């Protein structure tokens, strides 16, 4: 399949979200990525439900929602109702991961699992049949603008092998330090979805940057 591009709204101008969402609507992007942070699982706070509902009304793209929060099970239905199309939870935040991803799917959504940089992909062996996507964090989660962790390539290659051997229909998404300088190498390593924040929204021409990310091979 052709790779997907999911611009991260975390890097946009929070004072003009309507303009940012409108730009993504008019771009070649496939999804719109929202990082949800609670100040506990990660040392930052981002979007709440009112903002997600607002973005949902304005967006013409599916909402790719990444929950960097403790005890995400409490809020799954509320995120669905706010407009999430895909919900990704952190492996490290879920005590009963199978139950969590099953509930996401029962809500009619795609289910993803994210791994922090220090978490081995081998831990996903028994959950791959029950999910739609794995998000490999290529920086330590919590803040945008960090430097890509090069060890991530090994994790991506290992995960691609696990997915292919099991013939699972699971996408690999990456988030953190992604731009036109490394996106092609990531795609060749087996990545299906590129999350790009600063490289898009801090670009002189965000539309052109999204186009370049989308057309890379």
Which is the catalytic residue, given 38, 73, 175, 181? 175
CA-CA distance, 4 to 1, in Å (whole number)?
A: 9
- Catalytic residue flag (residue 30): no
The first and second tokens of residue 172, run together, are 């690999």
pLDDT at 43: 85
- How do residues 74-133 score in pLDDT, each as one tens digit? 999 999 999 999 999 999 999 999 999 999 999 999 999 999 999 999 999 999 999 999
Residues 6+ positions from 165 with CB-CB distance below 8 Å: none
Domain containing 88: what range?
A: 4-215
Q: Give the CATH number for residue 165.
A: 3.20.20.70
Which is the catalytic residue, given 13, 30, 35, 38? 35
pTM of this prediction?
A: 0.95
- pLDDT tier at 1, thresholds 50, 70, 90: low
Count of CB atoms situated within 10 Å of the CB of 19: 11
Report CA 61 to chain centroid distance, whole Å.
14
Domain count across the chain: 1
- Catalytic residue flag (residue 13): no
pLDDT at 147: 84
Residue 175: HSE in the Cβ half-sphere, 13 Å Cα cutoff: 33
- How do residues 132-161 score in pLDDT, each as one tens digit? 999 999 998 776 667 888 899 999 999 999
């Amino acid at each position: 399949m052709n790779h997907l591009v999911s611009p991260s709204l975390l890097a946009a101008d929070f004072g003009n979200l309507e303009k940012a969402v409108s730009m993504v609507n008019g771009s070649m992007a496939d999804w719109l990525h929202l990082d949800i942070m609670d100040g506990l699982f990660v040392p930052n706070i981002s979007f709440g439900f009112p903002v997600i509902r607002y973005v949902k009304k304005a967006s013409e793209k599916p909402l790719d929602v990444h929950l960097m929060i403790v005890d995400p099970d409490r809020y799954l239905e509320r995120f669905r109702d706010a407009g999430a199309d895909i919900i990704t939870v952190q492996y490290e935040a879920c005590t009963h991961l199978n139950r969590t991803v099953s509930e996401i799917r029962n809500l009619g959504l795609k289910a993803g699992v994210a791994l922090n940089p220090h978490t081995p992909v081998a831990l996903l062996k028994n959950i791959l049949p029950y999910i739609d996507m794995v998000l490999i964090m290529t920086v330590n989660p919590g803040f945008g603008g960090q430097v890509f962790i090069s060890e991530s390539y090994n994790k991506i290659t290992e995960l691609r092998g696990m997915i292919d051997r099991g013939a699972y229909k699971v996408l690999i998404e990456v988030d953190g330090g992604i731009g036109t300088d490394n996106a092609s190498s990531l795609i060749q390593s087996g990545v299906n979805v590129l999350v790009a924040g600063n490289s898009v929204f801090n670009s002189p021409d965000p539309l052109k940057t999204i186009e370049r990310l989308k057309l890379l091979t």
